[in-house]
């Protein structure tokens, strides 16, 4: 997995100010009209409003179904015969180990409904074992490790310096601040995460490297909405992540920071967010909402 954007890649610090001369405030016509269409898509607002499919927590709304241990039957076949899928309307169905199925529904209530149907049906009850999947662990990120490091050195350094009983397995790595540097992401149980976060740095070989908690957050670099990636974006015209204008963030020449997500929220939903920050600013309420939402999907206990 190579996520298009991860929260911890952002190192930008924005100074907020309400004292921007009015001549510098963008007139509304310079703001990206195309972005308004995002209201029908999973946008940042929907995260705040907790009403769109993008807010569905795939962990909480998924149920794992397995054939009972002495059974040889195919679950799809059995389910086809007993529950019309239209009654349940799953969002996704995946085959999983043990001839099982991971069924993702729209809400936790629908998960409960499916569980109840299985329990109340004599045939299904004896043939199917259901299980709610446990949440994944949170993640940490080690920044800008030189590519010459041996891949085994990194988990070993974490293990020894933090007295772990076992080395953590890396989840993935991606380009750091230059082409010969990589950022490494590991999942770690919450207690280990908390202990590692105390120091925020790690010695590997003759280098000291920064680490912090990593948030798996999707934000589109094209339209700046949270909840989808640039690849998944359906818009034709970009919105700048710095000034909210109609251009790619990389082409921005504005010295003014203006958040398109807060702007649209104020315009369309009557909120009163302070706008003078970039869409990548961690203090943006939409960024904070995305982090909060992500946190509900991981095991922090």
* Of 284, 280, 282, nearest in space to 271 by CA: 284
Q: How many CB atoms lie within 10 A of CB 243?
A: 23
| Region near Zn ion per CB under 5 A, out of 43-51, 64-72, 196-204, 241-249 | 241-249
Helix segments in the chain, DSSP class H:
44-49, 75-82, 85-88, 108-120, 122-127, 153-161, 190-199, 260-269, 285-296
Rounded Cα distance between 149 and 158, Å, is 14
- Which residue lies nearer to Zn ion by CB, 69 or 255? 255
- Residues in binding contact with Zn ion, number by CB under 5 A: 14
Structure tokens at 284: 């943006």
Should residue 240 be labelled a site residue for Zn ion when binding is judged by CB under 5 A?
A: yes
To Zn ion, the closest distance from the beta carbon of 91 in angstroms equals 21
Binding mask 251-280 for Zn ion (x = CB under 5 A): -x-x----x-xx------------------
Q: Is 245 near Zn ion (CB under 5 A)?
A: yes
Nearer to Zn ion, 164 or 252 (CB): 252
List the one residue from 233, 258, 276, 298 that touches Zn ion (CB under 5 A).
Answer: 233
Which C-beta is closer to Zn ion: that of 280 or that of 298?
280
**Residues within window 133-192 making contact with Zn ion, judged by CB under 5 A:** none
Using CB under 5 A as the binding rule, whether residue 118 contacts Zn ion is answered as no
Strand, coil or helix: what is 295?
A: helix
Binding-residue pattern over the window 200 to 229 for Zn ion, x denoting contact by CB under 5 A: --------------------x-xx------
Closest approach of Zn ion to the CB of residue 14, in Å = 10
Q: Please, are residues 142 and 183 in contact by the beta-carbon 8 Å criterion?
A: yes
Please give the Cα distance from 249 to 241 (Å, whole number).
5
Q: Taking the CB of residue 216, how many other CB atoms lie within 10 A of it?
A: 20
Burial, 206: exposed, middle or buried (Cβ in 10 Å; 0-12, 13-18, 19+)?
exposed
Instruction: Find tokens 């269409």 and name the residue.
Output: 37
Supply the minimum distance, in Å, between the C-beta of residue 36 and Zn ion. 13
Question: Which one of 71-79, 98-106, 165-173, 232-240 is the stretch in contact with Zn ion (CB under 5 A)?
Answer: 232-240
- Upper half-sphere CA count for residue 249 (Cβ side, 13 Å): 15
- Select 97 or 231, whichever has its Cβ closest to Zn ion: 231
Q: How far is the CB of 38 from Zn ion (least distance, A)?
A: 7
Q: Which CB sits closer to Zn ion, 204 or 243?
A: 243
Task: Give the residue with the Cβ less far from Zn ion, 137 or 239.
Answer: 239
* 92 and 145 Cβ atoms separated by less than 8 Å: no
Site for Zn ion, rule CB under 5 A: 220, 222-223, 233, 240, 242-243, 245, 252, 254, 259, 261-262, 284
């Amino acid at each position: 997995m190579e996520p298009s954007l991860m929260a911890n890649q952002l190192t930008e610090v924005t100074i907020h100010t309400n004292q921007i001369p009015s001549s510098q405030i963008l007139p509304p016509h310079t703001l990206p009209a195309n972005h308004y269409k995002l209201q029908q898509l999973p946008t940042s607002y929907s995260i705040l409003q907790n009403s769109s499919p993008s807010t569905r927590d795939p962990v909480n709304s998924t149920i794992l179904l397995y054939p009972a241990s002495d059974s040889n039957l195919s679950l799809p076949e059995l389910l086809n015969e007993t529950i019309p899928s239209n009654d349940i309307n799953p969002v996704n169905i995946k085959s999983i180990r043990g001839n099982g199925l991971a069924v993702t529904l729209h809400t936790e209530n629908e998960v409960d409904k499916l569980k109840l149907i299985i329990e109340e049906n004599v045939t299904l009850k004896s043939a199917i074992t259901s299980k709610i999947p446990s949440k994944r662990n949170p993640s940490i990120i080690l920044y800008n490790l030189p590519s010459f490091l041996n891949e085994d050195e990194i988990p070993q350094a974490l293990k020894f310096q933090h007295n772990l009983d076992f080395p953590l397995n890396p989840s993935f790595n991606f380009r750091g601040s230059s082409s010969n540097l990589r950022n490494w992401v590991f999942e770690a149980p919450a207690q280990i995460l908390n202990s590692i976060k105390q120091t925020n740095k790690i010695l590997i070989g003759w280098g000291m490297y920064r680490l912090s908690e990593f948030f798996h957050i999707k934000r589109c670099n094209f339209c700046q909405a949270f909840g989808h990636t640039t690849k998944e974006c359906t818009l034709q015209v970009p919105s700048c992540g710095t000034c909210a204008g109609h251009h790619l963030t990389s082409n921005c020449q504005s010295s003014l920071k203006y958040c398109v997500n807060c702007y649209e929220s104020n315009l369309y939903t009557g909120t009163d967010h302070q706008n003078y920050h970039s869409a990548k600013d961690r203090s943006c309420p939409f960024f904070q909402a995305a982090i909060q939402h992500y946190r509900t999907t991981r095991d922090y206990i």
